[in-house]
Amino acid sequence: MFELDQQQKHGFEVQHTSRRRFLQVGLGATATLAMPNAFANLLTQPERKLSLLNLHTGESLNATYWAEGQYQKNELHAINRVLRDHRTGDMHPMDNSLIDLLNILHHQMDGTQAFHVISGYRSPKTNAALNKNSSGVAKKSLHMQGKAIDIRLPGRKLSGLRKAALDLNLGGVGYYSKSDFLHLDTGRVRQWGV
């Protein structure tokens, strides 16, 4: 067995580090190319904003939740407050990917008004009560994890909102035309409703 001298060891480490860095950059570039254009555009925005109107509480919000290269903690907290379970008052952190999805969708639809929120976070207690009274409420709803929201966008057809959400191919899309809302979540890609 042989032993590398210090110079050889150092050369190996530099080469190994360079190769690792090359692979990281290559994978990052590949992921960016494979990423939907909407997300690629999102990454270049200096600020990300979201406007919401909770139809149950009447609370509205215009938040710049991303600025200076990072999520803004106070703005995210304000979003969580508006999207809390209106029945119990319980708050839960909403998934940042869901918030970004709403931002992208608003841009895709050229939205000028706030999203109308029918349901954001749901506590397990609320979800169980809703599940008992409706077959349309999942027992293990992603609403309970802050990964789902039910919305509409004034000035835009619900069918157009659905199509834009499906085109993004980023999670679940439930179409509730009779109730006039769209369910979005950051779970696996799937769709339901007509």
pLDDT band at residue 29 under the 50/70/90 scheme: very low
Separation between Cα atoms, residue 10 and residue 40, nearest integer Å: 38
Q: Residues 8-18: pLDDT tens digits?
A: 444 444 444 45
Which pLDDT score is estimated for 40? 60
pTM (whole model) above 0.85 = no
- Mean pLDDT of all residues in 46-65: 96
Fold of 45-192: Muramoyl-pentapeptide Carboxypeptidase; domain 2 (3.30.1380)
**Helices of type H across 57-123:** 73-82, 96-108
Percent with pLDDT over 70 in the chain: 76
The domain segmentation of the chain, as residue ranges, is: 8-35, 45-192
What's the CA angle centered on 156, arms 152 and 157, to 5 degrees?
85
27-31, 62-66, 136-140: segment of lowest average pLDDT: 27-31
What are 117's strand-pairing partners?
54, 151
Cβ contact 103:75 at 8 Å: no
Which pLDDT score is estimated for 133? 80
Cβ contact 46:67 at 8 Å: yes
* Residue 58 backbone dihedrals phi, psi, to 5 degrees: 80, 0
